Chains A and B, each alone.
Chain A
Amino acid sequence: MNLNATLIIQLVVFLSFVWFTKNFVWPPIVKALDERAKKVADGLAAADKAKADLANAEKRSMEELRSARESAAELRAGAEKQAGKLVEDARAEANRIIAAAREAATTEAGAAAQKAKDALRDQVAALAVAGAERILRREINAQTHADLLSNLKQELS
C-alpha cells in the first residue's frame, strides 16, 4: 500500500467519468423514465375514465330502457282506457240512435195511423155525403135503401 501519483491521476479520471455520465448518460435515461411514467399514468387514467364511462353508459341505458318500458305501459293503459271509452261512447251513441229511431218510428207510425184514420174519416164522410146525395136524388124505398145501406156497409167494412 504505497502512495504515489496514481492517486491524483485516479482522482482526475474519476471526475472525468462523472462529468461524462452527468452530461451524456443521466439526462436521456431520466427523461425516458419520466416520459414513460407519464405515459403509464396517462394510460391508467384513460383506462379508469373509460371504465367510468362504460358504467355510466350502462346505467343510462338501463334508465332509458326502464323509462321506455314505463312509457309503453302508460301508453298501453291510456290506449286501453281510450278504447274502453270509445266502445262505451259507441254503445251509448248506438243506444241513443236506436232510441231515436224507435221514437221516430213510433211517431211516424202514430202519424200514419192518424193520417189513415183521417183519410178514412174523410172517405166515410164523402161516402156518407155521396150516399146521402143518392138518397136525396131518388125516392127512397126500402129495397133501394136496403141496397144502399148494404153497399154502404160493404164500403165501410
Chain B
Amino acid sequence: MASGTELTHAAPTAGEYIAHHLTFLNNSGEMQANLIDFGLYNVDTLFYSIVLGLLTVFLLHRAAAKATSGVPGRFQAAVEILVEMVADQAKGMIHSEESRRFVAPLALTVFVWIFFMNAMDLLPVDLLPRIWEGVYAAAGHDPHHAYMRVVPTADINATMGMSIAVLLLCLYYNVKIKGAGGWFHELISAPFGNHILLAPFNFAMNVIEFLAKTVSHGMRLFGNMFAGELIFMLIALMGGAWTGMNAPSILLAAGHFVAGLSWAIFHILVITLQAFIFMMLTLVYIGQAHDGH
C-alpha cells in the first residue's frame, strides 16, 4: 500500500496506473481482449496461488509430520487449533463420517490457502509489480507491459475455479449419497412437489440453484478481494501524487499513511473472514448434497 515512487518517471495518469495494476500477466503478454478466451491463462495468478498453495501444504505437512500426542509446541498447537476448528465445523454440517474424511481436509486446505492468497493484499501494492517491472525491463522488454497482480483471489478465474470444483464435488456427493436415480428424482420433485406437471419447474429451479450457489460462492470472494485491492491502489494514488515538499503533497502523503494503515488493519479482518466464509460455504454446499429435500 505504500509506494509513492511509482509515477515519477513514466508519470502515467491515475487511470493508467489503476488500469496497469488491474491487468493480469497472461501467456500472451498483452491485455486480454475478449471477455472469455480459453486460449489464455494468467501466469501471475497461477504462480502466486501455486506458490502459496505449496507454502500451505508445506506448513501443514510440517506440523503433521511432527505431530505427537505429547505436549505440543506453539506451531503444532496453532495448526491443531485450526484443525479442531475445521473438524468441528465439518461435523456440524456433514453427517457422514466417510465424507468428512475427505471434506474436512478440503475445508482446511481451502481456509489456509485462501487466507494466504488474501493476505497478499497486505503487501504494498507496488512492491512486487515494481520488482517485476525491473526484471522485465532488464530482460529487454517494454516495462509498460510488465503486468503483475499479486492477489490470486482478486482474479475471478481463481475463485470461480475453486467454486466450480466445489460444485463438482456437490454433484459427486449427490450421486454418491442418493444414487443417480434418487438424485434425478429429487431434481424433478423438489422444491415444488412431486407431480409430472411440476417436474420441469422443479428441474429448472434446481439448475438455477446450483448455478447461483456456485457463482455467488466464487464471486463473493473475488468481489471482496478485488475491492480491497482496488482501495489499496486508490490509497496508493495519494502518495503517488507527491510533487515535492509542498503542503498538498505532505497532506496527501499523511492521508495515504492514515488511510493505508486503517484499511490494512480492517483488511486483516476481511481476509480472515472471507477465507472463513468460503470454507463454511464449501461445507454447507457439500453438506446440502448429503441431505435429501
Taking beta carbons and an 8 Å cutoff, which residues of A are in contact with B? Answer: 1-11, 13-15, 17-18, 20-22, 24-33, 35-36, 38-39
Q: Which residues of chain A are within 8 angstroms of B34 by Cβ–Cβ distance?
A: 2
Q: Is the CB of A29 within 8 A of B79?
A: yes
Q: Which chain A residues lie closer than 8 Å to B168 at the CB level?
A: 11
Residues of B within 8 A of A4 (CB): 26, 32, 36-42, 157
Cβ–Cβ contact A22 & B164, under 8 A:
no
Main secondary structure of the interface of A (DSSP, over half): helix
Instruction: Let me know if A26 and B104 touch, CB within 8 A.
Output: yes
Chain B, residues 50-63, CB within 8 Å of chain A (1/0): the string is 10010011001101
* Stretch from B12-20, B65-73, B237-245, B264-272 contacting the other chain: B65-73
Closest Cβ of chain B to A30, distance in Å, is 7
Do A39 and B37 touch across chains, with their CB atoms under 8 A apart?
Answer: no
Q: Which residues of chain A are within 8 angstroms of B161 by Cβ–Cβ distance? A: 6-11, 13-14
Task: Give Cα A36–Cα B45 distance, bound, in whole angstroms.
Answer: 40
B222 in the interface, Cβ–Cβ < 8 Å?
A: yes
Q: Is the CB of A35 within 8 A of B83?
A: no
B205 within 8 Å of A (CB atoms): no
CA distance A36 to B81 in the complex (A): 13
Task: Please determine whether A20 and B57 come into contact, CB atoms closer than 8 angstroms.
Answer: yes
Which of A2, A13, A25 is within 8 Å of B35, CB to CB? A2
Which residues of chain B are near A25, meaning CB under 8 Å?
Answer: 57, 60-61, 63-64, 105, 108
B106 at the interface (CB under 8 A from A): yes
0/1 string, B151-168, CB within 8 A of A gives 1: 010011110111011001
CB contacts (< 8 Å) of B104 on chain A: these are 26
Q: Which residues of B contact A6 (CB under 8 A)?
A: 40-42, 45-46, 155, 157-158, 161
Q: Could you tell me which B residues sit within 8 Å of A by CB distance?
A: 24, 26, 32, 34-42, 45-46, 49-50, 53, 56-57, 60-61, 63-65, 67-70, 72, 79-80, 83-84, 87, 101-102, 104-106, 108-110, 113, 152, 155-158, 160-162, 164-165, 168, 222, 226
A22 to B90, CA, bound (A): 14
Bound Cα distance A14, B46 (Å): 11
Contact A3 B36 (CB under 8 A): yes
Q: Is the CB of A10 within 8 A of B46?
A: yes
Q: Which residue on B lies nearest to A2, using beta carbons?
A: B32
A sample of 25 inter-chain contacts (CB < 8 A) reads A1-B222, A2-B37, A3-B35, A3-B36, A3-B156, A5-B39, A5-B40, A6-B40, A6-B45, A6-B155, A7-B157, A13-B50, A14-B161, A17-B53, A22-B102, A22-B105, A26-B101, A27-B64, A28-B65, A28-B67, A29-B83, A32-B68, A33-B69, A33-B84, A36-B70
The 9 lowest CB-CB distance pairs between A and B, nearest first, are A10-B161, A35-B69, A6-B157, A32-B67, A26-B105, A22-B105, A11-B161, A4-B40, A7-B157
Q: In the complex, A13→B61 CA distance in Å? A: 17
Considering the chains assembled together, what is the distance between the CA atoms of A28 and B83 in angstroms? 11
Task: Tell whether, in the assembled complex, residue A21 and residue B105 are in contact, meaning their CB atoms are under 8 Å apart.
Answer: yes
In the bound complex, CA of A10 to CA of B65 (Å) = 27
CB contacts (< 8 Å) of A7 on chain B: these are 157-158, 160-161, 164
Q: When the two chains form the complex, which single residue of A18, A30, A39 contacts B87, counting CB atoms closer than 8 Å?
A: A30
- Kindly state the separation between the CA atoms of A9 and B43 in the bound complex, as whole angstroms: 11
The distance from the CB of A39 to the nearest CB of chain B, in whole angstroms, is 6
- Looking at the complex, which one of A9, A21, A39 makes contact with B41 (CB distance below 8 Å)? A9
Report whether A10 and B83 are in contact in the complex, using a CB–CB cutoff of 8 Å: no
Q: State in angstroms the CA–CA spacing of A72 and B29 once bound together.
A: 105
Q: Which residues of A contact B37 (CB under 8 A)?
A: 2-4
In the complex, what's the smallest C-beta–C-beta distance from B177 to chain A, in angstroms? Answer: 19
Q: Which residues of A contact B72 (CB under 8 A)?
A: 36
Closest B residue, CB atoms, query A24 = B61
CA distance A26 to B104 in the complex (A): 8
